[in-house]
Structure 1
Amino acid sequence: MNHDDDPILAPGHANTQVLGLDFHNPVFPLSALAIIAFILYALAYPDAANTQLTAARGWSIEHFDWLFMIVGNLFVVLCLALIVLPLGRIRLGGQGARPEHSRISWFSMLFAAGMGIGLMFWSVAEPVAYYTDWYGTPLNAAAGTPKGAHAAMGATMFHWGLHPWAIYGVVGLSLAFFTYNRGLPLSMRSAFTPLLGNRVRGWPGHVIDITAVLATIFGLATSLGFGASQAAGGLNYLFDVPNTIGTQVAIIIGVTAVALFSVWRGIDGGVKIFSNINMVLALLLLLFVVLTGSTLLFLNGLWGTTLAYASQIVPLSNWIGREDTTWYHGWTVFYWAWWISWSPFVGMFIARVSRGRTVREFLTAVLVVPTLVTVVWMSAFGGTALAQSAAGVGELANGIGDVSLAMFQMLEQLPMTTLTSSLAILLVLIFFVTSSDSGSLVIDGITAGGKTDAPRGQRVFWASLVGVIAGILLYGGGNAALGALQAGSVATGLPFSLVLVVMCVGLVKSLREEHRTLRLAGAF
């Protein structure tokens, strides 16, 4: 079933050409107006905006923790079921479709867009924070003890393993299936066609797409702004570069400039290349930590981290009668809301580069492989950091001070500190580039009505806007304005969690129909 000739569902419907831009009406103008309105408000009243949106975030986390936990668990179960069920044999794009990218490049793009940047900071900071009771401990494990270290590694893996990738996976699979198998535009609204029918053509569809644009651009701008602060902190720690607003804005300008080059070149000439560079640099840094730290410690940690994750995934997934409320709300529920708010961006980018993969291959690469890679990464970086903290070695012995410096404080206790820390900063900056360029391509696609071949200038516009928003808010409102932006992004996780549940219902229904049709046609 192909909708290319449908005047409403076709990618070019209601598109307007202005100054070389080809945008969808009313998604593009309303998204732009909402973005401008928020920026003006956050600049005029940064503290008030931060207070109000932080209160909204806190209210959603406190009162709907059960909802976030249920949907997170639901997505994991659904993804694992689709991997083993016969539905997993369905190929995205039809049974004759073939992948456009090699497995290595494909996975590099998935990982870089998904959470590569987060692992650079939290793989060290998070286990040490739990071990030293920085903001509560998981399942009330005793801080500073072997049991506390075990709980710290298990909880860190819980936050970066199956659950977040399942959230991305259901969104990515839904969008890929309805785009490549049903001929619909690559836009968030397409995934709701089985349940909304023709209403996706009107305001319900517009609202879905506009919300996705806002969640994506605010999430990217927040990460870029805070990331600039973190990178500037690292430069100050290593090379005494002044950690000023000017330095942070300069970092944003540099990252945005490289991202502009990447989006101008497109996926094959830009995004894929930087993603592959990312994976090579990350592998080099990983090997260095394993070999210069303690290989035996790493091997023992690999088994211990896996065991801790396996033994704690069920109790950490529970939301009933939790006694570690401070930790549970401040970490797990916050993370789930954050991953959900990021899911339109990551899911849509994953869908865009996954044509030709079977459902089983898609979910294995999106869910299982990243979890295994994260176990290795956490065992190396988190295990080394915990060993230093437990032994009273270096600044991590005193717990977490500045999160942005935790990685560098850990590397300081290993050989060739300047070289490896410089590599870490470079890796952080390139991860920001890959997030910015892939996110800009996603926003461009949504605001162009699902097109994947919008004018280059349009991609440049959105990549520039992400940098401009981050820079303006950081310069004009400081961390208060960025905090407001982040709180607003997390707060959108509440309504989006319900949206994703509806999306899953439509996905399963349509996959069953597709499987039945293919079986009757003798394809299986």
Structure 2
Amino acid sequence: MPDKENLDEMHQSRSDPDAITFDTDYELGQDNIRPFGLDIHNPVFVISGGAIVLFVVVALLNQQATADLFGWLRPWLTSTFDWFLMMSVNIIFLFCIALAISPLGKVRIGGQSATPDYGYLSWIAMLFSAGMGIGLLFFSVLEPMYYSLPELNALPLGVNPINEDGTIGNSGLAATVFHWGFSAWAVYVVVALSLAIFAYNLGLPLTLRSAFYPVLGERVWGWWGHSIDILAVFATLFGLTTTLGLGAQQIAAGLTDVFGIEMGQSGIVILIIVITIAALVSVLLGMDAGVKRLAELNMWLALALFLFVLIVGPTWVLLGRFGGTMVEYVTNYAALSNPFGREDTGYMHGWTTFYWAWWIAWSPFVGMFIARVSRGRTVREFIICVLLLPSLVCALWMSVFGGMALEQLASGYEGAKEVVVAYRPELSFFRMIDQFPLYNIVAPICLVLIVVFFVTSSDSGSLVIDTITAGGKMDAPVAQRVFWCTFEGLVAIALLLGGGLNALQGAAVSMGIPFTLVVLAMCYCLFLALRSENRLLGQPDGSAVTPPHEVEHNEPPRGDHW
């Protein structure tokens, strides 16, 4: 095993010690092949691509068997590995806090002279759109309502929020924020920061295997590294297609509700195909022309919808709910995070453990995307912004939309309650906003927002998976991006036809649990890398030292230099 005490020696010899970036022409060993002009990192692309094609074919040909498998798999996994998932996420969250307050927080991504590639507004818009997306519209009414109805047997911590006077407390909102707040974003922080530091500071390819060089050494370029990247591809794809499937269901429900267009399974399939084509256009335009502009459009549409509900609704009541929700969230955080001795197993198994597996499955996608747009930020700045800002925005969003639905229920309107009890989750958001004026204008805007979220998630995910399977290259041929974008849509179709929501969620959980081990190991490797960077910053002139060894151009740092 490499000598971890000499980690700082992995830096390449350079005249400008702060200007390290990896060469995009770098090849991992002899594994990169270029058939038909493609740049395929073999065997990662071959195995993961072949397996995904096979999965789509088998699932489409055996839809009932797929439904039975995932219908059994999801509840078994979430009830069996509940303690493992919850304790793992707790460890990851505490690790992020420790990094932020430690001296390691002053390390800058890309070197001390690096400057941010994007301004705060664009940066936050991109990480926010990639990190949450469609779920904010799908779950913002569904979850608080679900946790506030005793008949559904999912009361968080067993607390009934309905008071004797008919008002409804904030425990359901706080339990919702728990799933969309600090814990979720802590997972993204670890993966994104690991990828960014190892790529932009230590000169390694932007791919998951690079984060394990401190413990694997040369083996990271062999089958150990291949296995990590392949698992990351599967986790990313299934985590992402869960979101895309939810978005397609909600768009179909909205079209029926607003325009009276009946959408059966074939209609949902057509929807996915059409929106996937739109995502392909964004992929072809690239990061700045496509993804960045869509992310900013997303942000402005979401902000307009949020302000509309806040202003037209009982503004001060909803803002008061946000304050009360945050108080309950913070005070109940430890109890909600504890997997042992819980009586509210309906909430914990049906929701929390699923969410933790889903976020971990999403983490390669969100982490790599955030890493690509975060050069120039310090570790402390990165953690504070990525951990706190999206969490607070999600909490405010859930408090306003979910709080509005609870206020409607308390005043006698049961439209949202009825679809939640019937478990028509895709309709819950529309049942809330149909009580507002200008519904025929607002609802189509919501549909556009969902579509843009869908496209943003799909094109971002395609770029990320393509980067992993191309060995860390950020400029792989367009044909490969088209392949992954296409199969994201096809996997979503296969899962929707083979079990619907249960299949989508089961696929995400089945990949999230094994990938949890990868994220935990990443924490240790990230600590080693940041410790090395911090040592170099401690030189008398404040700059990194030139290590005593020489590394030839386009050669990876070797194990004996750690």
State whether TM-score is above 0.5. yes
Tell me, yes or no, if structure 1 residue 44 matches structure 2 residue 61. Answer: yes
Supply the distance in 1 between the matched residues of 2:289 and 2:23 (Cα, whole angstroms): 32
Deviates more, 1:214-223 or 1:381-390: 214-223
Contact 1:28–1:448 (Cα < 8 Å) also in 2:
yes
Displacement, 1:355? 1.1
> C-alpha root-mean-square deviation of aligned residues, in Å?
2.1
Q: How far apart are residue 116 of structure 1 and its match?
A: 2.2
Say whether 1:207 aligns with 2:224.
no
1-side partners of 2:55 and 2:225: how far apart?
Answer: 22
Code of the residue aligned with 1:51 in structure 2: it is: D
Q: For 1:154-182, what per-residue CA distance to the aligned partner results, in whole angstroms no more than 9, with x for missing partners?
A: 10110000000001110000011101111
Determine whether 1:507 maps to 2:518: no
Among 416, 419, 438, the residue aligned to 1:416: 438
Contact 1:47–1:480 (8 Å) recurs in 2: yes
For structure 1, which segment, 192-201 or 46-55, has the greater mean C-alpha deviation from structure 2 after superposition? 46-55
Residue 52 of structure 2: which of 35, 56, 70 is its match? 35
Q: How far did residue 245 of structure 1 move?
A: 2.4
Aligned residue pairs, count: 521
- Structure 2 residue 85 is matched with structure 1 residue 85: no
Q: Is the 8 A contact 2:235 2:515 kept in 1?
A: no
Judged with a 3 Å threshold, the aligned counterparts in structure 2 of structure 1 residues 17 and 481 are, in CA distance, closer, same or farther, namely farther
Report the structure number with the largest CA radius of gyration. 2
- The code of the aligned residue for 1:448 comes to A
Alpha-carbon spacing, 1:170–1:7, altered in 2? closer, same or farther (3 Å)? closer
2:43 to 21, 26, 29: 26
With over 3 angstroms needed to count, the CA separation of the structure-2 counterparts of 1:174 and 1:4, relative to structure 1, is closer
Partner of 1:218: 238
2:384 aligns with 364
Segment of structure 1 superposing worse, 162-171 or 463-472: 463-472
Contact 2:100 2:380 in 1 (8 A): yes
Match for 2:227: what amino acid?
V
Q: State whether residues 22 and 204 of structure 2, in contact with CA within 8 Å, keep that contact through their aligned partners in structure 1.
A: no
Equivalent of 1:488 in 507, 512, 535: 507
Mapped to 2, the partners of 1:467 and 1:59 lie a distance apart of: 27
The one of 119, 122, 136 aligned to 1:119: 136
Letter in 2 for 1:234: G
Q: Which residue does the alignment assign to 1:457?
A: 479
TM-superposition CA deviations, 1:236-283 (whole Å, max 9, x none): 011110112232122212211221111111110100000000000000
Structure 2 match to 1:354: 374
CA displacement at 1:482 relative to structure 2? 6.6
1:497 corresponds in structure 2 to 516
- Of 452, 455, 467, the match for 1:445: 467
> Out of 417, 435, 448, which is 1:426 matched to?
448
Q: Is the 8 A contact 2:171 2:325 kept in 1?
A: no
Match of 1:285 in 2: 305
Aligned equivalent of 2:560: none
Matches within 5 A, 1:283-362: 283-362=303-382
Give TM-score scaled by structure 2 length: 0.89
Paired residue secondary structure (2:380): helix
CA contact (8 A) 2:22 2:205 kept: no
1:180 aligned residue: 200
Superposition deviation, residue 74 in structure 1: 1.2
The 8 Å contact of residues 21 and 458 in structure 1, kept in 2 or not, is answered as yes
CA positional deviation for 1:135: 4.5
Change (3 A) 1:497 1:472: closer
Q: Are 2:250 and 1:230 aligned?
A: yes
Whole-angstrom distance in 2 between the partners of 1:458 and 1:271:
17
Contact persistence 1:389–1:398 (CA under 8 A): no
Distance 2:30 2:345 in 1: 49
Match in the other structure for 2:399: 379
Find the partner of 1:517 among 536, 541, 544: 536
Once structures 1 and 2 are overlaid, which stretch shifts more, 8-17 or 163-172? 8-17
The alpha-carbon distance between structure 1 residues 421 and 62, as it changes in their structure 2 partners (threshold 3 A), is same
Distance 1:4 1:430, change over 3 A: closer
Would the alpha carbon gap of residues 282 and 7 (structure 1) be closer, same or farther in structure 2, given more than 3 Å must change?
Answer: closer
Retained in 2: the 8 A contact 1:94–1:181? yes
**Which has the higher mean CA deviation after the structures are superposed, 226-235 or 329-338?**
226-235
> SS where residue 297 of structure 1 aligns?
helix
Q: Distance in 1 between matches of 2:500 and 2:340?
A: 35
- The one-letter amino acid of 2:162's match is G
Corresponding residue of 2:276: 256
CA distance in 2, matches of 1:64, 1:147: 36
Q: Which amino acid aligns with 2:204?
A: L
Structure 1: gaps spanning 5 or more residues: none
Identify the residue that residue 138 of structure 1 maps to in structure 2: 156
SS of 1:19's partner is helix
TM-score (ref. length: structure 1):
0.95
**1:268 maps to which of 279, 285, 288:** 288
User: How big is each residue's C-alpha offset from its partner over 1:71-126, in whole Å with a ceiling of 9 and x where there is no partner?
Assistant: 11111111122222221110111111111111111111101111121011111110
Q: Aligned partners of 1:276, 1:94: CA distance in 2, in Å?
A: 28
How far apart are residue 36 of structure 1 and its match?
1.9
Deviations 1:400-444 (A, max 9, x none): 131111111110111111111111111011001000000000011
The structure whose residues are more often helix, as a share, is 1
- Equivalent-residue separation in structure 1 for 2:178 and 2:252 (angstroms): 29
Cα gap change, 1:26 to 1:521, in 2 (>3 Å): farther
Distance 1:519 1:297 in 2: 51
- State the 1:511 CA deviation: 0.7
User: Does residue 154 of the first structure (1) align with residue 174 of the second (2)?
Assistant: yes
Structure 1 residues 5 and 322 mapped into 2: Cα distance closer, same or farther (>3 Å)? closer
The structure-2 alpha-carbon separation of the partners of 1:60 and 1:394, relative to structure 1 and needing over 3 Å to count, comes to closer
Counterpart contact for 2:74–2:505, Cα < 8 Å? no
Deviation at 1:62, TM superposition (A): 1.7
